[in-house]
């Protein structure tokens, strides 16, 4: 049975190194973190979680970016570009339109490679250096590959990325390419790519940096820490709800771990934990299905399709960590159509916040849940936007205004704009 509870006073087992170890979320088996390379439990193959012999408190955090939170991470510093410190935008018109007490948008697209993946990579690539591996690899819908390529380049390590052919947005492929990753385009979807990369990793051919790697999620916890600190500074309270797009469900799992550790530290009351609310595209919604049916794990969707290619995923590997997170925090999950995603992308853009389609799913989901009355008008909500507009220039251009051809003269421009010609000044 999944056990994500944290002991009141954590005691390091014999396998721990510097107060850090890995624990299986199903059978509780404990593993050394940096001795052997291990991704899943050696006893039962279930997911692992990083554990520490202490819990972090807010007063320990100092400095900037992800490494401000080193008290909650396995190392003091990492391979950094630097990442984190993303804006928590105010969006007054959207807030009015949705009709909640507070709406803030945490724009993770403002990280160095344009997505939240950088937070996981700064930690994951630091661990790779500790392990002394030579080749890093990931399967990706695009953003993970861009981040891995950049952080791998920074660490001077070889990087290999497997992408679903024809289904990755142009900006992301360009990033992976220029940062020097070897890009393998696979005739299959993301889930098929991940199956292959996992096999490569099991054979010792590469170090896996997908969110199956528990250390990636440690870095991504810092999204939650930044949101809670800034929201509390601005309003003197924590948000009621965090709404986020869900693909592999790594971020959902990471935020839940962030909250559990703060509760264990006595920094957050159990009734102050924000409700984790996941949003998927209708064409790729196994998590929504599992939340609705009450299942403990997701059923793999063989066919997936959505304009939000970043979350075009049918087999969310972190579901066993993320489903309890949604349930225990009193959150929910909802599916939105591609049209609803595009509308939300435009609404964010009209507030000056440029995001890729998957990111806009959070706002689309909030709108839907608000219209259904699931989200109340008295709630303080933070929507996570996970990737930058320029990641997917084709989607942005299709959702926005079309360029208008015009002849090369002031008269022609005035005429085109419908402005009457006046005598020359
Ligand atoms: N939003 C964006 C922009 C993403 O790139 C991803 C995941 C998600 C949301 C979903 O996050 O997996 O933690 O639930 N992208 C991965 C990739 C799969 O390969 O870039 P999740």
Q: What residue spans define the domains of the chain?
A: 88-114+217-399, 117-213
Which atom of ligand 1 lies at the shortest distance from residue 313's CA?
Answer: 18
- Distance in Å, CA 415 to ligand 1 centroid: 46
- Distance in Å, CA 116 to ligand 1 centroid: 8
The DSSP string of 50-74 is: EEESS---GGG--SSSGGGGGGGSS
Sheet order of strands, 158-164 included: 182-186, 158-164, 135-139, 207-208
- Distance in Å, CA 171 to ligand 1 centroid: 15
* Number of neighbours of residue 32 by Cβ within 10 angstroms: 15
**DSSP letter assigned to residue 133:** -
Nearest CA to ligand 1 atom 6: 310
How far is residue 75's CA from residue 72's CA, in Å, rounded to a whole number?
A: 9
* Number of neighbours of residue 423 by Cβ within 10 angstroms: 4
Q: For residues 220 and 50, is the Cβ–Cβ distance under 8 A?
A: no
**DSSP letter assigned to residue 282:** T
- Distance in Å, CA 386 to ligand 1 centroid: 7
CATH 3.40.50.1370 fits 88-114+217-399, yes or no: no
Which atom of ligand 1 lies at the shortest distance from residue 109's CA?
Answer: 3
Mutate to test the pocket of ligand 1, among 105, 143, 281, 290 (most ligand atoms within 8 A of CB): 143
Q: Give residue 170's pLDDT.
A: 98
Residue 184: in which H helix or E strand, if any? strand 182-186
Q: For residues 354 and 393, is the Cβ–Cβ distance under 8 A?
A: no
Q: Identical fold at 88-114+217-399 and 117-213? A: yes
- Distance in Å, CA 248 to ligand 1 centroid: 7
Q: Which residues line ligand 1 (CB under 6 A)?
A: 115, 117, 140-144, 211, 245-251, 310-311, 356, 358-359, 386-387
Look at the block and give the residue holding tokens 């064409």.
283
Nearest CA to ligand 1 atom 1: 386
Q: 244 forms bridges with which residues in the sheet?
A: 278
Q: For residues 34 and 19, is the Cβ–Cβ distance under 8 A?
A: no
Mutate to test the pocket of ligand 1, among 169, 345, 386 (most ligand atoms within 8 A of CB): 386
Look at the block and give the residue holding tokens 């953003």.
143
Q: Give the CATH class of 117-213.
A: alpha beta
Mutate to test the pocket of ligand 1, among 114, 245, 344 (most ligand atoms within 8 A of CB): 245
- Distance in Å, CA 85 to ligand 1 centroid: 19
- Distance in Å, CA 36 to ligand 1 centroid: 27
- Which residue positions in the chain have pLDDT lower than 70? 421-425
Which atom of ligand 1 lies at the shortest distance from residue 387's CA?
Answer: 3
**Residue 269: both structure tokens together:** 């009351």
How far is residue 278's CA from residue 376's CA, in Å, rounded to a whole number?
A: 17
Q: Give residue 420's pLDDT.
A: 80
Q: For residues 239 and 100, is the Cβ–Cβ distance under 8 A?
A: no
Instruction: Give the CA distances from residue 351 to residues 188, 243, 308, in Å, rounded to whole numbers and listed in that order.
Output: 37, 18, 20
Which atom of ligand 1 lies at the shortest distance from residue 356's CA?
Answer: 3
């Amino acid at each position: 049975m999944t056990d994500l509870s944290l002991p009141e006073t954590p005691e390091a087992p014999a396998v721990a190194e510097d107060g850090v170890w890995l624990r299986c979320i199903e059978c509780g088996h404990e593993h050394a973190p940096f001795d052997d390379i291990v991704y899943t439990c050696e006893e039962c193959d279930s997911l692992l979680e990083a554990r520490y012999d202490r819990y972090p408190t807010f007063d320990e955090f100092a400095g900037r970016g992800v490494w401000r939170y080193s008290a909650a991470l396995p190392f003091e510093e990492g391979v950094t570009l630097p990442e984190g410190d993303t804006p928590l935008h105010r969006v007054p018109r959207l807030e009015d339109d949705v009709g909640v007490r507070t709406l803030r948008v945490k724009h993770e697209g403002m990280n160095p490679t344009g997505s939240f993946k950088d937070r996981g990579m700064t930690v994951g690539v630091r661990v790779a250096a500790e392990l002394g591996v030579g080749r890093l690899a990931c399967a990706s819908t695009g953003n993970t590959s861009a981040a891995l390529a950049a952080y791998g380049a920074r660490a001077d390590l070889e990087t290999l990325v497997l992408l679903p052919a024809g289904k990755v947005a142009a900006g992301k492929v360009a990033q992976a390419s220029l940062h020097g990753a070897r890009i393998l385009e696979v005739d299959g979807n993301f889930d098929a790519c991940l199956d292959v990369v996992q096999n490569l990793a099991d054979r010792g051919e590469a170090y896996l940096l997908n969110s199956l790697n528990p250390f990636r999620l440690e870095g991504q916890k810092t999204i939650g820490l930044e949101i809670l600190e800034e929201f509390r500074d601005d309003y003197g309270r924590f948000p009621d709800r965090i709404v986020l797009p869900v693909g592999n469900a790594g971020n959902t799992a990471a935020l839940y771990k962030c909250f559990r550790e703060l509760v264990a530290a006595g920094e957050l009351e159990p009734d102050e934990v924000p409700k984790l609310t996941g949003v998927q595209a209708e064409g790729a919604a196994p998590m929504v299905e599992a939340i609705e049916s009450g299942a403990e794990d997701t059923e793999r969707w063989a066919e997936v399709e959505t304009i939000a290619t970043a979350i075009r995923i049918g087999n969310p590997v972190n579901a066993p960590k993320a489903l309890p997170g949604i349930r225990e925090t009193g959150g929910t999950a909802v599916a939105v159509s591609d049209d609803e995603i595009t509308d939300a992308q435009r609404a964010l853009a009209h507030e000056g916040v440029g995001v890729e389609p998957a990111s806009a799913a959070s706002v689309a989901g909030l709108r839907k849940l608000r219209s259904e009355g699931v989200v109340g008008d008295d709630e303080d909500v933070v929507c996570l936007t996970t990737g930058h507009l320029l990641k997917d220039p084709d989607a942005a251009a299709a959702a926005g205004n079309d360029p208008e051809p015009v002849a090369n003269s002031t008269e022609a421009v005035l005429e085109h704009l419908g402005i009457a010609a006046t005598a020359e000044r």
